[in-house]
Structure 1
């Protein structure tokens, strides 16, 4: 039981730390964001860290559920490893998006990058579902938020042309 608790904490800490580091690297660029035209439905800036913290928490729990399924099955089970690999890849893509959007100001490129992230998360959810339905369901808010983020990103890009 102690080992499961430790692995759950690590699983939750990884996305939270990466998200925090990404936020730290882009915090000086947030003033630029506030000066950009905002589309309808754009939430106040205070909403973003709250939503992302919840999403990172859910990511960590989902990855832990899949990891525990991996530990319970034979290590060669082909259903588990692709999901964890896609999870790590989408974490890296997620980490870079704010750097492209906020720090570099590459609004068009960051929208395309967000589409890549959305594709990876859809793939991850499908892979997670083959191992743990709960792990997949916990990622639905993430998918919905990415679609909303895509709307915001594309709208801001088009409004600044």
Structure 2
């Protein structure tokens, strides 16, 4: 049986989860410099949001994501759950560079599909320790599923 994670005090753990999520956000911001212009130049489905929606939506998702990881850790989370959570952060971090930086929208679509599955697994693992941690992942999952559909529509339309 896996043993619970033993880590620094609560404030340091929260700072750790927040820092990990912030790194993902910084990677996205670094490679998304021309994202607004690129997005505007794409053929988009009618249900595509205006570009200004993405900043607030991702900010909210990232805050909830950091809190979710911290809640899981506080509840005696297992290393396996944190590893799956970390894999989700990696998949999230590479999406923007693939989609906007390299213009590889189909590969980015495959990445975000994998992210959808990893977040589902994270919710399942987190739920076993902390319902709150799992519930904090749900808005993030809904957002990335919507983003996945938008990514696929962009692949098809462009």
TM-score, normalised to structure 1, is: 0.87
1:84-103 aligned within 5 A: 84-103=82-101
Q: Residue 121 of structure 1 corresponds to which residue in structure 2? A: 119
TM-score, normalised to structure 2, is: 0.89
Report whether the alignment pairs 1:58 with 2:64: yes
Stretches of structure 1 that go unaligned for 5 or more consecutive residues are 71-78
Deviations 1:3-36 (A, max 9, x none): 3233223322320232123212221343222100
Q: Which runs of 4+ in 1 moved over 3 A?
A: none
Q: Residue 26 of structure 1 corresponds to which residue in structure 2? A: 32
The root-mean-square deviation of aligned C-alpha atoms, in Å, is: 1.6
Residue from 134, 139, 142 that aligns with 2:140: 142
Q: Give the length in aligned residue pairs.
A: 151
Q: Residue 104 of structure 1 corresponds to which residue in structure 2? A: 102
Sort the Cα spacing of 1:29 and 1:146 in 2 relative to 1 into closer, same or farther, 3 A: closer
Partners of 1:80 and 1:128 within 8 A in 2: no
Other structure's SS at 1:123 match = helix
Other structure's SS at 2:34 match = helix
The whole-number CA distance in structure 1 between the counterparts of 2:19 and 2:62 is 9
* Deviation for aligned residue 1:55: 0.6
Other structure's SS at 2:33 match = helix
Report whether the alignment pairs 1:83 with 2:91: no
